[in-house]
Amino acid sequence: MGVSVTNFSRSGLSDWIIQRFSAVVLAAYAVFIVGYLLANPALEYAQWKEFFSCTAVRIFSLLALISTVAHAWIGMWTIATDYFKPVALRFVFQLVCFLAIFVYFVWGIEIIWGV
Amino acid sequence: MNQQRPINLDLTKFSFPLPALTSITHRVAGVILFVGIIFLLFALSSSLESAEGFAATKKAVTTGFGSFITWGLLSALAYHFVAGIKHLLMDLGIGETKESGLYAAIFTIIASAVLVVLAGVWVWA
């Protein structure tokens, strides 16, 4: 099948398991960050900066960022191959997704490691 | 071969059962989050830049038009989270039958609706 060359890991089963693993990581990270914000309603800059300077938070953030890259690509690939039949349209859509994910990745690392 | 055989793939003519609607909504919420990452990264970047940046970001995400983006993204996250857990449970073989699938879909809608309201309370109250 022509569409299989643009999937994330060249294997549907592998993509499937990566999508599940990254989903669990992202769910845990979402609960972690939302929980932190809920637990600290009067959050100030110094505390926020200290939180993101913590090595464990940085590593968890990087893991979430990498999970986002995989999860978003597989998710958008599923949507592209399900709904866009014309090859040109699908190609452009996937190219835009790739560029967006690449920017998110580089920008995200810059933010997480620039604190 | 009958060339006039019915090929009905007009999505607007389908009658979608509730589990199908919760599934497509899960995809829509995923796309919203994918685009929303721009706002999340921008907010994270500016909030960590300086004390002034933090104050400006706090104001931007909790007041005016920005508060609606915050609420919208929290809502998309809540729905994608709940419907995603439903997907993971279905992978484990839970809620796969026609009947239990319908209950799981109803539960997904109720649970995410509660979280969407709570997100609104968090943002505006």
What secondary structure does DSSP assign to A63-98, as a single string?
HHHHHHHHHHHHHHHHHHHHH--SHHHHHHHHHHHH
Residue A2 has pLDDT above 70, yes or no: no
- Structural domain of residue B87, as residue ranges? 17-124
Kindly list the residues from chain B whose CB atom is less than 8 angstroms away from the CB atom of residue A48.
Answer: 47-48, 54
Residue tagged 């995923």 (tokens): B30
Over range B18-29, report the average pLDDT.
95
B8 pLDDT band, cuts 50/70/90, is low
Over range A100-113, report the average pLDDT.
97
Over range A6-33, report the average pLDDT.
92
Distances (CA, A) of B4 to A8, B7, B12: 39, 8, 21
Q: Of B54, B77, B88, which is closest to A23 when you measure between CB atoms?
A: B88
Whether B12 is covered by a domain: the verdict is: no
Whether B33 is covered by a domain: the verdict is: yes
Q: How far apart are CA A53 and CA B8, in angstroms?
A: 56
Residue B27 has pLDDT above 50, yes or no: yes
Residues 6+ apart with CB under 8 A from A43: A37, B58
Angle between helical axes of A55-83 and A45-53 (0-180°, round to 10): 80
Report yes or no: B61 and B69 within 8 Å, Cβ to Cβ.
Answer: yes
Whether B46 is covered by a domain: the verdict is: yes
Over range A51-63, report the average pLDDT.
97
Whether B75 is covered by a domain: the verdict is: yes
Residue A43 structure tokens? 């959050």
Say yes or no: B55 contacts chain A, CB-CB below 8 A: yes
Residues 6+ apart with CB under 8 A from B88: A20, A23, A24
- Which stretches of B50-63 are DSSP H helices? 51-62
CATH of span A2-114: 1.20.1300.10
Q: Of A52, A97, A107, which is closest to B41 when you measure between CB atoms?
A: A107
Is A104 in contact with B37 (Cβ distance < 8 A)? yes
pLDDT on residue A19: 95
- Chain A nearest C-alpha distance from B34 (Å): 7
Give me the interface pTM, i.e. the ipTM: 0.92
Assign residue B109 the CATH number of its domain. Answer: 1.20.1300.10
pLDDT tens-digit profile of B69-117?
999 999 999 999 999 999 999 999 998 899 999 999 999 999 999 999 9
Whether B60 is covered by a domain: the verdict is: yes
Q: How far apart are CA A49 and CA A66, in angstroms?
A: 22
Q: How far apart are CA A52 and CA B48, in angstroms?
A: 8
Whether B6 is covered by a domain: the verdict is: no
Whether B9 is covered by a domain: the verdict is: no
Number of domains observed in the structure of chain B: 1
**Helix, coil or strand: residue B96:** coil
A1 pLDDT band, cuts 50/70/90, is very low
Q: How far apart are CA B40 and CA B26, in angstroms?
A: 20
Whether B68 is covered by a domain: the verdict is: yes
